[in-house]
Structure 1
Amino acid sequence: MDSWLYQTVQQLAQDSAAYEERAFFQALSQLALEQEKRIAQAQGEIDGRSWDEKSW
Structure 2
Amino acid sequence: MENIEWLQQQIETLRSKSDVYQEQAFFLALGNAALEQQKRIEQAEGELDGRMWNPRQW
TM-score range, shorter chain: 0.7 to 0.9
Q: Could you list the structure 1 runs, at least 4 aligned residues long, displaced by more than 6 angstroms after superposition.
A: none
5+ residue gaps, structure 2, are none
Output the aligned Cα RMSD. Answer: 1.5
Take 1:55 and 1:26, find their aligned partners in 2: how far apart are those partners? 44
Name structure 1 gaps, 5 residues minimum.
none
**Secondary structure in 2 matching 1:17:** coil
Please give the alpha-carbon distance, in whole angstroms, between the structure 2 residues aligned to 1:7 and 1:42. Answer: 25
In the superposition, the TM-score normalised over structure 2's length comes to 0.84
Identity of matched residues, %: 52
Q: CA deviation at 1:55?
A: 3.0
Q: Residue 22 of structure 2 aligns to which amino acid in structure 1?
A: E
TM value normalised by structure 1:
0.86
Partner of 1:36: 38
